[in-house]
Structure 1
Amino acid sequence: MKFISGIQKINWLKIMRFSGTQLILILVFAGMSYARPGNAQINMEQRVNLNMHDATIASVLHRLEKLTDVKFVYSLNRVNVNRRIDVDVTNARLDSILEDVLIKNGIGYEVVSNRVVLTPGITNRTASLTGLMQAHDLHVQLQDVEVRGKVTDENGSPLAGVTLQVKGTNIGTTTDNQGNYVIHPLSANDTLVFSFIGYERQEIPIAGRSQINIQMHATATGLNQVVVVGYGTQRKVDLTGAISVINSNDIKDIPVGNASYIMQGKASGVAITEQTGAPGDYIAVRIRGVGTINNNDPLYIIDGVPTTNGINNISPDDIESINILKDAASAAIYGARASNGVVIITTKHGQAGKTKINFSDYTGVQARGHLIKMANTKEYVNAFNIAAKADGRQPIPLDMLDTLPDINWLKEILKPALISNTHLSISGGNEKNQYIISGTYFKQDGLITNSSYERFNIFSSLTLNPYKWITIGTNMNLAYSKTRQVGSSGDGYGVGNPGASVVRYALFRVPATPVYNSQGQFVDLPNPPTFFGDGYNPVAFAKSFDRSFNDYTTLGDAYLEFHPFEGFTLKTDVGTNLGINFYRQFFPTWGIDRHINSPNSLAQSVNNEFNYNFTNTLSYIFNLKKRHVFKILVGSEAIKDDIKTMSASRTNFVDQSPEFQYLDNGLANQLNGGNESHWGLFSLLGRIEYAYKDKFLLNFNMRRDGSSRLSLKNRWGNFYSGSAAWRLDKENFIKKIKQISLLKLRFSLGQLGNQNIGNYPYASLISGGFYYPFGGIPTEGYTITSKGNPEVKWETSTQTDIGLETGFYNNTLQLTIDYFIKNTSNMLLSIPEPSSAGASASSPTENAGKVKNNGLELQLSYQGNIGTKFKYDLSANFATLHNEVISLAGGKPIPGGRIDNNYYATLTAVGHPIGAFYLLVDDCIFQTPIDVITSAYQGPNIQPGDVKFKDLNNDGVVDQNDRTFVGSPIPKLTYGFTLSAVYKNFDLSIFLQGVYGNKIYNQVLTDIEGFYRPFNITKRIATKSWHGPGTSNTFPRLSWKGAINNKQPSTRFLEDGSYLRLKNIQIGYTLGNNITSKLKISSIRIFLSVQNLLTFTKYTGLDPEQYISNNALNDGDRAVGIDWGTYPSARTFTAGININF
């Protein structure tokens, strides 16, 4: 243990003055300090901070090259740079450091131009460069130089296949099986570039040498990669839990606004799905399945600040890494909030060195993809008349055809839209401070008019090191976003209903009705509605509906770290997540007679959420006899969350102009309201890590949480995990197998909690507005509207994980396999009570359910090259999932996914997945009257051409008792593939993502193929419907009377939701040094990208990728997979540029 002297002589005023001054100077002058011409002569008086222990002289010199502009030239045959030394200096002059590092170790040096030439003890300061080279056999030649050497790894073993290239040329070669190489012809002033998969790229000036031997170091993306875990970091190779890591290189330049979207297909066991394709809409993240019928969203940690509202307000350009904690071993440190998994986002930080400026920009156009083939006017009229003849109704006169338009309503509402993103960052610093500040503007217009999303971010990070035993830092993200919405999903279709779908309206609307009349006004209801239905004009609806969300968020933290002695760290962190949301919706009256949506209305609300966290941790790392390594972490955390909401609305605005759209101008239906909610959490936490010879690894986590959401009786809960790993590659019997570079077995077991159960479910809610008769006179009073249950406690999740991590051929080939079991118990349910308990009161919640998720995850990657110019990376991930309800209170199933007034498409029941589809089974089409008579009774007026259903209980009658479980919206398999390749200055990336084994209930088909009202219909039912025995066994007869039977919720409308999508393909070109050097620019890359280019699926709807769960009954995950006419994802084409100064 080494105690740093001088710790008591602290000038706190100086520290604070330093911090404020540095911050101001950084923000004001950072952009002025780049691209200055440098002095070719070395400044030996420049100051450096350096702290290295038990390091070779070579590594010290390499570090000095990183910290200064000095280049060291020496011959390995004459200068011993393998000697190990200790260096610990602060603000020391360069010449003083070289005196200690070189002269005191018998190595002389000469300063020649901008290089330091090392000599074996020669100290003649006036020697010429030529003399030095000759004296030390460096063989300086102007042209046709041949260089030989050997390349080894950190252990001195030869590396075969290392690529060497002369910088700025096409001259190159590779090392042989013994790590040796020969390269020529080249100049004495050339620079050799050494690169090898899994190792850091190195640039070595030849400086006249004829032999250059180098030692390559493993990159951070290999086993030594540092992974952010709960309240700390660990080396990837030391992990005993299941963590998926996504780095900034995996997510760059992808044209998406929500950072959650960039995780899709990148991590096994993590299902990412857009709720709809509308800009700024919710992204569903499900880690290892659906564990509850309540909230399944993971916990997000952004630079140590917890948030449950996702990461939509963070710019993807500011993200350095995303770590997904999937099992109990990695997530238990977050206790009561971790049962759904944890997503840790680390933003970018400044690095010591020259000021760097990065500018990136892309812009593009979005286009519609697959369209449902709808009937044209002629096909619609023909189908209508067939049905009219069958049902005895008046047909459409055929002479009207020449006067009717032929409108494709999907094309009318889905128009090309722009998307763009501009990002600028400035970063730099020195050993005392590092900083980065950036700004990002993102704008995405929607395919549908009046839908858009724009966001502006200002991000900054500052790290100060006034003394070597103290670190002060702050991270701050300021964001403003505006989301404009039109109806995009949901189960409502009344005008003004926020869930009403413009796409659904477009599918309803018959092609024989125009968009505008001759005066340029919107045509509202079709005329006559008897022939052409009563579907609203979707173009008018989209353009008239003004609905927006304006969000202001501040997310950041400030921390202080003390390192009083080696291995000891005390950290205090204060974080805040502040959000202000303004909601506004104005819906005017419109149409020829302005009677649609009468009266007009304006609704506004404001929601303020203030979340604070105060975290203190103490960690200590020590080892015993260099074999036993311990790392101990203890800490506490306090979280407080306050929400305040106010709302108001009015109707009947005489003037609908924007300048008059204020609440004061509404003349009727004045409504207002407001509420507040508060909750708090206090926690104690701890972790013990142990490693024996880097071979046997143990990890124990514990957290004790106390939440105000629960009663005093059940307020505190303990959560824990234990895990172990065995690195077999450290065993001698495995070391003999040279092909194996990593072989690790791990096991974890633990218990997590879920506190996303609402505020105070233990307390009953009393509300006013109820009337009681007293003496025959109604008198207003109060009643219990929500019953509490003081016995309510945490939902808990017990998780087990068994994993195998392997690496072959120096980890160029890696395979990770995990099998997990996730059991949720004490699931919160609302148990229905008899009416005698009080009809006005909702049922209390109880801990009365269990759910099991289990599956297998596989992550595979390979890095390779073909020759010296073509390099490629391949990666793939797969995850299976089995979801099953183990128990429910009383065993009574819970319906969900309402698709009609009294029909539900899903049922959550024991032995089946959450929200499984529960429907009648379609059994083809009745072909003859005999077929109808001899089959189970389905009701009166059944005729040939109607849908036949299976009588599953064999009682001779088809009714709701014949419904059965027919599939689940939860995919059985999720997967992703990524190919990255580099050839010379060109780069290519291809990303595919998909799901398999899930079902989608295509509810919109009930409307456009159910034939129950004069809405438009699909082309296939208009042209392929049954019209006689044997004509169709798929599509029923055209009849409104038959619709009573034919549109019943059944497997007729249930489809396979599996898909494989070419999610992104990008090609880029990096300009050569011969161009960038003239422009005084470090690098320029231009690229083209296409998002959602191809989709392979059997699903007939607009888009198989959807996660609708926002129906009017708030069924959540019990209503997933029902398509009400969902806003489709766009096919996006972008072009961009990335410039580094």
Structure 2
Amino acid sequence: MKFILNNVAVRNIMKNIFSQIVIAILFTGISFAEKSNAQAVLNRIVSISMEDTRLSSALKQVEKDADIKFVYSRNVVNIDQKISIQAKDRKLGMVLDELFNSNGISYEAFDNRIVLSNIRTKSPANGSIETVSDLLIDSKEKIPVTGKVTDRNGEPLIGVSVKIKGTNIGASTDVNGQYSLNTPDGDNTLVFTYIGYITQEIPVNNRTAINVSMQEDAANLDEVVVIGYGTQKKTNLTGAVSTVSSKVLESRPITNLGQGLQGTVSNLNITQGNGSLGQGSTFNVRGNTSINGGSPLILVNGIPMDINQLNPNDIESVTVLKDAASAAIYGARAAYGVMLITTKSGQKNEKPKISLSTNFVTNEPTTRIQFIDTKDRIAFMNEAYMRVNGRNYYDDITMAAMMAHYNDPTKPSAIIHPAAPNDWRGVANTDWEKILQAETYPMQQHTASVSGGSEKFDYYTSVSYLNQKGLTNPELFDERFKRYNFMTNVNYKILDWFTVGSKISINNSTKRFPPNHPWFRNEFAEGSTIFQQHIYSTQPYKDPNGKWTHEGSILNPAQMLSEGGYQTRDINDMWMTGLVKLTPVKNMTVNVDYSFNASNRRELNYAAQQPFFNNKGDVIGYYGGSNPSRVIKSGYNDKYYVFNAYADYEKTLNNKHYFKGLVGYNQENAQYNFTQAERRNLIINSLPYMNLASGDRFAYDSINEYAIRGAFTRFNYSFDDRYLFEFNGRYDGSSKFPKKDRFAFFPSASVGWRIDNESFFSGIKKSVDMLKIRASYGNLGNQNVAGYYPYIPTLNASEVNYLINGDRPMTISAPGLVSSSLTWETVTQQNLGLDFAALNNRLSGSFDIYKRDTKNMLTRSQTMPAILAVNEPQANAADLSTKGWDLTLGWRDNVGNVRYGATALLSDYSAKITKFSNPSGIISDYYVGHNLGQIWGLTTGGIFQSDAEASALDQSNINGRKRQAGDLYMVDLNGDGKITRGNQTLSNPGDMSVIGNNTPRYSFGFMPNVGWKGFDLDVFFQGVAKMDQWINATYFLSQYTNEWGGIAKTAMDYWSPQNPGAYFPRPIISGAGDIVAVQSRFLQNAAYIRLKQLTLSYTVPSILTKKLKVERVKVFFTGSNLWTGTKMIKISDPEQAGPSSYPLYKSLSFGANVNF
């Protein structure tokens, strides 16, 4: 199914692409020098002769001779003072110096205006020119201007902003639509601005009365949005489509697109599993998809791309296709939505525009686990041991040394105990978090771009750099991530009907992070946290000899970070697209593009041998997992080819019937190559090179490939802009299925009714600007279900771990059973939606309700006899139904110079299994009626307050430990007098029941904003109103199962006779099966609201930037994840699955955007 171009064609494409790169780069280097207008004014020649004359008369004479205007405030500049001056054919600047220097007056030229101020006041040169121009302007020729502002029907508009262009001097209209202001002179321009209306600029031209009729801004309604293989007016959409512009991403200290999009589109669910460097986001559209998982198809300029490698500043817009009607044109891969990302491009007939963006950020974790100190550890562990063993955990010698160091840190942090004379015994009070983690970790990112175009040529080119440090203490380990991006988009119109272009994206990233050591329980694996669950405060950082300490087999984590090795990952990713656009006849467009991706990833995992020492400083052994040392090198070389060809034609008949049709063809081919080599026993522990190792060599490789091919069509019809119809269809084939089941057709249809264009609606047209009802139905397929060759039995070959006659023999395992009839998961979607805009487009919104049925999900077919000794084959044998809704509301308005608005998002979904083979009704598996995300567990009744109360309930089936006062008790739901889990089936669950659900319900976002005279404040709240979470017991309840672990401060709220209302039961360190069992008491309410972002920005007035030949300067301060409101226990971030993950971070950033 490959689509192959011959070598000549490829060379021609590449030649054309690189030619255009050279052209774009040449434009990048263009600079423009222009003589300052202000300096030109001061060089004008004037003559003046006055003796003992008022300064005001001299100013009038100079204004006349030099053709300028003086701007000043009579309260600041004394124009009645007497002056004398004799000047003939001298430069204006020299004349002004003689006039003003001896009179306490300073001046500065702005075009043809000379701004005067008192030297003793804040001068323009030393302060804010905005202050001078806006607050000190008081020309001798004040011109009062009044007028009335109305809409197209003659109705007055209240609160219209009326400003003098280039300043912040202005007024707003009153309840009658009238305004009044004074202009410095008669050649100013007034700017009329009102939300929902087109901004108008009107020259004063010495008039004193200016009435304005404002026109509604239809651009908001007639906005063109990107859809599958084309664009469409927003008002004519009949599917569920949401868009996000680049403005949303500006001023955000983000490293990937997911962070910028979170909370901006209703029911676009974005999660970031952890905060590790370079970590990407996971996207989901409209909730549960399939038991096999499912994510939206993400296309950048029409081709699939790893968006985590993109620079967010290069993105122009993001369109989310939510329902089948809008996504069906992508067929097999669009079952769970589509995200269309369009990068920035230049504009024809636009002068070169250079943009610079810089951002400096400091990060820190949103949540840190606070661990108890040594004093509290003594109390907790002694209490736990005394209950079970009748003695303290620590002996008197150890406790005395611990408390001595606790009270006086100069006392020894380790002692030689008589029971272990060859080892140090730790008696420290170590804060491991401060040793292992940085307080803050910085990040910086910078972007430069140039764009523009001529009548036939347009271009956009950008480069960017990101540098991010990690959470680990830099004195122990240099954890870092760097990314470099280059992008260029160019188009050239060779003929009126023939345009060629290219798009190139080159992305490079490198990451260095701690090694993955199995002997530290993967705590330092990528994405994992660097917390101290398996280390505690009594262990010192180093022993009195300066050697790394250890506690039995537990490695010192500081030693591992400092000397244990490292991992690196280097990614080089390049996308190249050549495209042709033809318009052979009027109203017809033909597009052809071919794209190639080469992605190379190199990884190194170097684990050094780690010794431990006795109290004499001698090496007495090596940690098991680090012995032998090893180096692993991996290489991923992937290639991807995309070919698209499509044509569309549109026609309008009698100004009422609008037709548009599209047909096209798409073909894609992917090739994945993986190689890995490993060698152990490094000769020199610090040199991770395979030729410097003496151990066995291991090598692995794999090659995979798949292809898809499809033909697609779309047909649109509109009658009188009232009745809308759209049909989409795609005939798709995938190599992942057998030939007879490889191809399928996926159709969809949608309709819309523009009620606002009906004649009967005219009576409320003044209040409701747009009202549209839409509905859609469609079928889609999902090909991402079971690897690359799920229908082919495969043999696995591997070497065994033992020797026979000095060699490692090769073994080949028998293949499992496969089904020869595997095919697509099919997804049927129904959607009903409403779009509206009201109150002069100030209020807008949309509401959608949907149902998505996923059928033929891949799962095991049926249970096979044990004698067969193989697993049952996979088959299309399960169904799922998801129901939900999403709501978006927006408001924007202004009151005078104050602009404000808000956007609110709310969505919900739930999913249920409607078909699944589980005849025994095992509750740990899926079953018909199973709500995805549900949590089965025991119901906790409380804590026993006496031993007698504890002995009255039989909980031995949960745990055989004798119950005492301070232990938990469970509720006997089935009334049999004892607590059991039954046989864990639907028919006999014992005392288990569904106690919660981890599906996020009622996800919301709220984004208010306000702007005033260049200042803008944007706030973003995001959260989930209902969600449960069971935290992994190892990190939440580890004090009951692991005596070697760190204990969180939250655990100190444990039961005692003095604390009967405690959250946790009495301390124990073994036999805690009932405590760590999934139960309602420790099920966490993970609902939360978070101040996701707060940005304060200031746009420097143009009166200042124009002088510097700068078009726009914007500076901003942003805080991210600043505050979180939640009832969750304070050891975990509610956006994460638990404290085992690398923490998310909150950040403070400062940056600037400058346009030339």
Q: Tell me which residue corresponds to 2:357.
A: 360
Q: Structure 1: how far apart are the matches of 2:209 and 2:920?
A: 80
Q: Structure 2: how far apart are the matches of 1:872 and 1:22?
A: 43
Q: Tell me which residue corresponds to 2:937.
A: 919
Q: Is it true that 1:861 corresponds to 2:884 in the alignment?
A: no
Q: Tell me which residue corresponds to 1:688.
A: 715
Q: Tell me which residue corresponds to 1:1138.
A: 1153
State the TM-score, normalizing by the size of structure 1.
0.82
CA offset at residue 367 of structure 1? 1.9
Q: Tell me which residue corresponds to 2:542.
A: 516
Contact 1:486 1:502 in 2 (8 A): no
Per-residue CA shift, 1:572-592, capped at 9, x if unaligned?
Answer: 011233211111111212253
Change (3 A) 1:782 1:653: closer
Q: Structure 2: how far apart are the matches of 1:471 and 1:439?
A: 25
Q: Is it true that 1:478 corresponds to 2:506 in the alignment?
A: yes
Q: Tell me which residue corresponds to 1:73.
A: none
Q: Structure 2: how far apart are the matches of 1:16 and 1:1054?
A: 58
Q: 2:728 aligns with which of 695, 701, 707?
A: 701
Comparing 215-224 and 367-376, the one that deviates more: 215-224
Contact 1:453 1:481 in 2 (8 A): yes
Q: 1:263 aligns with which of 261, 264, 277?
A: 261
Contact 1:1103 1:1126 in 2 (8 A): no
Q: Is it true that 1:1035 corresponds to 2:1064 in the alignment?
A: yes
CA offset at residue 1038 of structure 1? 1.6
Q: Is it true that 1:790 corresponds to 2:820 in the alignment?
A: yes
Comparing 367-376 and 1083-1092, the one that deviates more: 367-376
Q: Tell me which residue corresponds to 1:661.
A: 688
SS in structure 2 opposite 1:713? helix
Q: Is it true that 1:599 corresponds to 2:637 in the alignment?
A: no
CA offset at residue 149 of structure 1? 6.1
Q: Structure 2: how far apart are the matches of 1:216 and 1:461?
A: 37
CA offset at residue 538 of structure 1? 3.2
Q: Structure 1: how far apart are the matches of 2:157 and 2:499?
A: 39
Q: Tell me which residue corresponds to 1:190.
A: 188
Change (3 A) 1:1029 1:206: closer
Q: Which residue identity lines up with residue 711 of structure 2 in the other structure?
A: L
Q: Is it true that 1:1018 corresponds to 2:1036 in the alignment?
A: no
The aligned runs of 1:31-430 (5 Å cut-off) are 31-36=29-34, 143-147=141-145, 160-175=158-173, 183-208=181-206, 222-307=220-305, 310-352=306-348, 353-392=350-389, 395-396=393-394, 397=396, 398-401=399-402, 402-403=404-405, 404-415=427-438, 416-430=440-454
Q: Tell me which residue corresponds to 2:493.
A: 465
CA offset at residue 857 of structure 1? 0.9
The aligned runs of 1:360-759 (5 Å cut-off) are 360-392=357-389, 395-396=393-394, 397=396, 398-401=399-402, 402-403=404-405, 404-415=427-438, 416-449=440-473, 450-486=478-514, 494-495=520-521, 499=525, 503=529, 505-523=531-549, 525-526=550-551, 529=552, 535-543=554-562, 544-593=564-613, 595-596=622-623, 597-657=626-686, 660-737=687-764, 738-757=766-785, 758-759=787-788
Q: Structure 2: how far apart are the matches of 1:764 and 1:20?
A: 45
Change (3 A) 1:500 1:166: closer
CA offset at residue 499 of structure 1? 4.7
Q: Tell me which residue corresponds to 1:1096.
A: 1125
Q: 2:909 aligns with which of 875, 878, 881?
A: 881
Q: Structure 1: how far apart are the matches of 2:1140 and 2:1088?
A: 18
How many matched pairs?
Answer: 986
CA offset at residue 39 of structure 1? 11
CA offset at residue 465 of structure 1? 1.5
Question: Which 5+ residue runs of structure 1 have no aligned equivalent?
Answer: 1-13, 41-112, 115-140, 772-776, 896-905, 1108-1120
Q: Which residue identity lines up with residue 667 of structure 1 in the other structure?
A: S
Q: Structure 2: how far apart are the matches of 1:154 and 1:568?
A: 36
SS in structure 1 opposite 2:701? strand
Q: Which residue identity lines up with residue 629 of structure 1 in the other structure?
A: Y
CA offset at residue 35 of structure 1? 4.8
Q: Structure 2: how far apart are the matches of 1:711 and 1:766?
A: 19
Q: Tell me which residue corresponds to 1:101.
A: none
Contact 2:28 2:461 in 1 (8 A): no
CA offset at residue 654 of structure 1? 2.5
Change (3 A) 1:671 1:157: farther
SS in structure 1 opposite 2:681? strand
Q: Which residue identity lines up with residue 467 of structure 1 in the other structure?
A: L
Per-residue CA shift, 1:1030-1078, capped at 9, x if unaligned?
Answer: 7245322222234243333333442111111111111111222232122
The aligned runs of 1:1112-1131 (5 Å cut-off) are 1121=1137, 1123=1138, 1125-1131=1140-1146
CA offset at residue 780 of structure 1? 6.1
Contact 1:305 1:576 in 2 (8 A): no
Change (3 A) 1:495 1:871: same
CA offset at residue 942 of structure 1? 2.0
Contact 2:24 2:461 in 1 (8 A): no
CA offset at residue 250 of structure 1? 1.0
Q: Structure 2: how far apart are the matches of 1:19 and 1:296?
A: 35
Comparing 535-544 and 965-974, the one that deviates more: 535-544
SS in structure 1 opposite 2:685? coil
Comparing 1077-1086 and 828-837, the one that deviates more: 828-837
Q: Tell me which residue corresponds to 1:1067.
A: 1096
Contact 2:1133 2:1139 in 1 (8 A): no
Q: Please provide the CA RMSD for this pair.
A: 3.1
Contact 2:160 2:172 in 1 (8 A): yes
CA offset at residue 265 of structure 1? 0.6
Contact 1:937 1:956 in 2 (8 A): no
Contact 2:432 2:532 in 1 (8 A): yes
Comparing 797-806 and 180-189, the one that deviates more: 180-189
Q: Which residue identity lines up with residue 937 of structure 1 in the other structure?
A: Q
Change (3 A) 1:599 1:923: farther
Q: Structure 2: how far apart are the matches of 1:553 and 1:220?
A: 41
The aligned runs of 1:968-1117 (5 Å cut-off) are 968-1003=997-1032, 1004-1022=1034-1052, 1024-1028=1053-1057, 1031-1032=1060-1061, 1034-1106=1063-1135
CA offset at residue 420 of structure 1? 0.7
Contact 2:172 2:895 in 1 (8 A): no
> Taking every aligned residue pair, what percent have the same amino acid on both sides?
30
Q: Tell me which residue corresponds to 1:131.
A: none
SS in structure 2 opposite 1:1051? coil
CA offset at residue 297 of structure 1? 1.8
Contact 1:927 1:1029 in 2 (8 A): no
Q: Tell me which residue corresponds to 2:859.
A: 829
Comparing 920-929 and 869-878, the one that deviates more: 920-929
Q: Structure 1: how far apart are the matches of 2:154 and 2:308?
A: 47
Q: Structure 2: how far apart are the matches of 1:400 and 1:501?
A: 38
Q: Structure 2: how far apart are the matches of 1:916 and 1:487?
A: 35
Q: Structure 2: how far apart are the matches of 1:272 and 1:365?
A: 23
- Structure 1 or 2, whichever has the larger Rg, is 2
Q: Is it true that 1:932 corresponds to 2:930 in the alignment?
A: no
Question: Which 5+ residue runs of structure 2 have no aligned equivalent?
Answer: 1-11, 39-110, 113-138, 406-426, 614-620, 801-806, 983-990
Q: Structure 2: how far apart are the matches of 1:721 and 1:555?
A: 32
Per-residue CA shift, 1:32-90, capped at 9, x if unaligned?
Answer: 243545999xxxxxxxxxxxxxxxxxxxxxxxxxxxxxxxxxxxxxxxxxxxxxxxxxx
CA offset at residue 874 of structure 1? 0.5
Contact 2:160 2:894 in 1 (8 A): no
Change (3 A) 1:330 1:267: same
State the TM-score, normalizing by the size of structure 2.
0.81
SS in structure 2 opposite 1:555? strand
